[in-house]
Amino acid sequence: MGRVVVNVVKGEALLVSNETLAAREAVCKQCPRREVETNRCLECTCYLSMKTQLTSETCPLGKWEI
């Protein structure tokens, strides 16, 4: 969450575009490391509904190219 604060201080966008969000969600929905019931990443334990929206976040497995 510290990276979000850094983006705020720098005046950078906090949320990704709708296109990027859709691409990230599509990748996560196909990932075997996603816990379906909670929609959490089993690698980093983040809730994907929040993580996929933030510009400061990355996939711990390097699957998000956008």
Per-residue pLDDT of 22-61, as tens digits, reads: 999 999 999 999 999 999 999 999 999 999 999 999 999 9
Instruction: Give the separation between CA 15 and CA 24, rounded to whole angstroms.
Output: 12
Structure-model confidence comparison of residues 3 and 19, the more confident one: 19
Question: Token digits for 45?
Answer: 């334990």
Instruction: Give domain status of residue 61, yes or no.
Output: no
DSSP SS3 for 47:
strand
Please state the domain count of the chain.
Answer: 1
Residue 16, in any domain of the structure = yes
What pTM was estimated for this model as a whole? 0.83
The reported pLDDT for the residue numbered 58 is 96
In a domain, 60, yes or no: no
Identify the residue whose tokens are 């509904």. Answer: 49
Question: Could you tell me if residue 64 is inside a domain?
Answer: no
Is there a domain that residue 63 lies in? no
HSE toward the beta carbon, residue 37, CA cutoff 13 A:
0
Can you give the residue range of the structural domain that contains 7? 2-51
Domain assignment of residue 23, yes or no? yes
Average pLDDT, the chain: 90
Q: Strands (DSSP E) along 1-66, which ranges?
A: 34-35, 40-41
At 8, the pLDDT band (50, 70, 90 cuts) reads: low
Residue 56 lies in a domain: no
